[in-house]
Structure 1
Amino acid sequence: MNSGITPRGGPITIRRAVARDAKRLTRLVRGSRAYEGPYAPMVADYRVGPDYIETHRVFVAVAADEHHSPVLGFYSLVLAPPELDLLFVADGAQGRGIGRLLVAHMKSEARAAELDRVLVVSHPPAEGFYRSEGAVRTGTASANPPAVAWDRPEFEFLIPPEVATAHGNAFE
């Protein structure tokens, strides 16, 4: 699914990731300032491999003219059990609405897959973002040293079914 969307900063396309995106996605994860300091061990050896991209629903946000643009962000939706496994926005692209676009796209994909909820185990600094996007706090995932030495908030996005009408518009 190609989605032409225009957040602050220009047109963005969200497209399905392909195997050749793997190195760019890995660099985005490992280079994220959100994982500096005490959070660094969690992503130090993290790899988004071609096999992961082929197994899960991974989508990337790029500028509409992708050939001259890095990946601006990406997410991964795991269907069973339903979980937003990864969501990253490149450091230089933050504050432009790309994270919101990725969450909206993920909800649309979840709805198309007939999911009614999607779990998120959040990076602690991202908790406010998920709350602002409508995720509901459901608990806490315990630390799992050595890679994850801190507790993480758990959220759910509730995915309401699409409202169907005879004309495709609930207001007609």
Structure 2
Amino acid sequence: MSSHMTGRGTAGRPGAWPVRIRRATARDAKRLTALVRNSRAYEGPYAPMVAGYRVGPDYIDAHEVHVAVGDDGRVVGFYALVLSPPELDLMFVADTAQGLGVGRTLMTHMSERARAAGVTAVRVVSHPPAEGFYRSVGARRVGTVIANPPTVMWDRPELVIAV
């Protein structure tokens, strides 16, 4: 399944930036892994969480994983929706595409996919710096997930997105 959605320019960047959302395939695994591991959002104290992270073909096959592809064919973002129980497990936008509406476009698509699957709400355990983004797209904070050393050394906001 593929759909064309357009992200709106934000963060002082006028205009729209078109992306196509499509289902991820096993061939995307290396690109998605690179997006996770190279994210500037996980530098410094957050780096250990993604240092060895891998988005494998088996993960892509087992979950609702969708990618945002720019006009030039590059993957510029993705999300992974786990349906049971409903949770946004991963959501990444390439550093070079942040602020262009790609994240909002992915979230709209994720909500549509969740709704089509009969889901009414999706849980998000957010990277702390991303909480503001999730709240800006309608998520509400419902709690805190306590740190789980040695992998996750910090508490994380728990949010819910009504779909």
Unaligned runs of 5+ in 1: 160-172
Shift in Å, 1:99: 0.2
Q: Which residue of 2 aligns with 1:43?
A: 50
Matched, 1:121 2:125: yes
Where 1:6 maps in the other structure, the secondary structure is strand
- Residue 138 of structure 2: aligned partner: 134
Tell me whether 7-16 or 96-105 shows the greater mean CA deviation: 7-16
Match of 1:86 in 2: 90
Alignment of 1:60-99 (within 5 A): 60-66=67-73, 70-99=74-103
1:56 and 2:63 matched: yes
| Higher alpha-carbon Rg | 1
Higher RCO structure (Cα 8 Å, ≥6 apart)? 2
Alpha-carbon distance in structure 2 between the residues aligned to 1:116 and 1:123 = 23
Structure number with higher strand proportion: 2
TM-score of the aligned structures, taking structure 2 as reference length: 0.93
1:3, CA displacement in angstroms? Answer: 1.7
What displacement does 1:10 show? Answer: 3.3
- Please tell me whether the aligned partners of residues 4 and 64 of structure 1 are also in contact (alpha carbons under 8 angstroms): no
Tell me which residue corresponds to 1:163.
Answer: none
**1:2 paired to 2:6:** no
Query: Residue 17 of structure 2: SS of its match in structure 1?
Result: coil
* Distance in 2 between residues matched to 1:45 and 1:109, nearest whole Å: 29
Identity %: 67
- Equivalent residue, structure 1, for 2:113: 109
SS in 1 for 2:20: strand
Q: Distance in 1 between matches of 2:128 and 2:72?
A: 33
| Alignment: residue pair count | 156
Output the aligned Cα RMSD: 0.9
| 1:34-60: CA deviation from partner (whole Å, max 9, x where unpaired) | 000000000000000000000000000
Alpha-carbon distance in structure 1 between the residues aligned to 2:111 and 2:4: 16
